[in-house]
Chain A
Amino acid sequence: MSSAEVGAFGVEIGIDSGGPVVEVRGEVDLATAPMLGALLDVLVDHAETHVVLDLAELTFMDASGLQVIADVSGRLAPSRRVLVVQSASPIVRQLLAITGVDDLVLVATAEPARQELAPEQEEPTRSQPDEATSAATDVVVDLIERSALPATRDTVDAALKLVVSLAAVSVGGADGVSVSLERDGAMRTVASSDHTVLEMDHDQYETGEGPCLSAAADGRWFHVQALAEETRWPQFAPRALERGINSILSSPLMANERSIGALNIYSRSEHAFCVDEQELAELFATHASGILADAGVGRSTGPPNERLQRALESREVIAQAQGILMERSGISVDEASTQLHRAARASEITVGDHAARIVTSARRGPRPSE
Chain B
Amino acid sequence: MVEPIDILEQARRDVGLSIGDLWFRYFSLGGMSTALDVEAFLFGALLASDRDRDLLSVALNECFAERGDDHPLPYSQDRDER
Contacts and interface: CB of A to CB of B under 8 A. Distances in A.
A70 to B, nearest CB: 14
A140 B65 CA distance: 32
B23 interface: yes
Secondary structure dominating the interface of B: helix
B35 A142 contact: yes
Contacts of A140: 34
Interface string A336-353: 011001101100101110
A311 B24 contact: yes
Which of B29, B50, B75, B76 has the most C-beta atoms of chain A within 10 angstroms of its own C-beta? Answer: B29
A285 to B, nearest CB: 28
Interface string B44-82: 000000110011011001100100000100011110000
A143 interface: yes
Contacts of B62: 350-351
B30 interface: yes
Contacts of B9: none
B28 interface: yes
Which of B36, B50, B57 has the most C-beta atoms of chain A within 10 angstroms of its own C-beta? Answer: B36
Nearest to B37: A139
A146 B38 CA distance: 11
A146 B35 contact: yes
B79 to A, nearest CB: 11
B51 A337 contact: yes
Interface string B10-24: 000000000110011
A338 B24 contact: no
B43 interface: no
B33 to A, nearest CB: 9
Contact of B36 (A142, A311, A322, A341): A142
A337 B54 contact: yes
Interface stretch (A32-40, A46-54, A215-223, A312-320): A312-320
B35 A143 contact: yes
B75 A341 contact: yes
Nearest to A145: B35
Contact of B30 (A147, A315, A348): A315
Nearest to A142: B36
Interface string A148-179: 10000000000000000000000000000000
Given A147-B35, A318-B30, A334-B51, A342 B75 contact: yes
Contact of A146 (B23, B29, B50, B78): B23
A338 B34 contact: no
Contacts of A143: 34-36
Secondary structure dominating the interface of A: helix
B65 A348 contact: yes
A351 B24 contact: no
Of the four ranges (under 10, 10 to 19, 20 to 34, 35 or more), the interface on chain B belongs to 20 to 34
Contact of A315 (B29, B54, B71): B29
Nearest to A140: B34
B28 A310 contact: yes
A351 B20 contact: no
Nearest to B40: A139
Given A139-B34, A147-B34, A350-B62, A342 B29 contact: no
Contact of A311 (B27, B50, B77): B27
A45 interface: no
Nearest to A319: B30
A148 B20 contact: yes
Nearest to B78: A342
A142 B61 CA distance: 25
A307 interface: yes
Contacts of A315: 27-30
10 contacts: A147-B23, A307-B24, A315-B29, A315-B30, A334-B50, A334-B51, A337-B54, A338-B75, A338-B76, A345-B71
Interface of B: 19-20, 23-24, 27-30, 34-37, 50-51, 54-55, 57-58, 61-62, 65, 71, 75-78
Interface of A: 138-140, 142-143, 146-148, 307, 310-311, 314-315, 318-319, 322, 334, 337-338, 341-342, 344-345, 348, 350-352
Given A146-B36, A319-B30, A345-B75, 13 more contacts: A139-B34, A146-B23, A146-B35, A147-B24, A147-B34, A147-B35, A148-B24, A314-B28, A315-B28, A315-B30, A318-B29, A337-B30, A351-B29
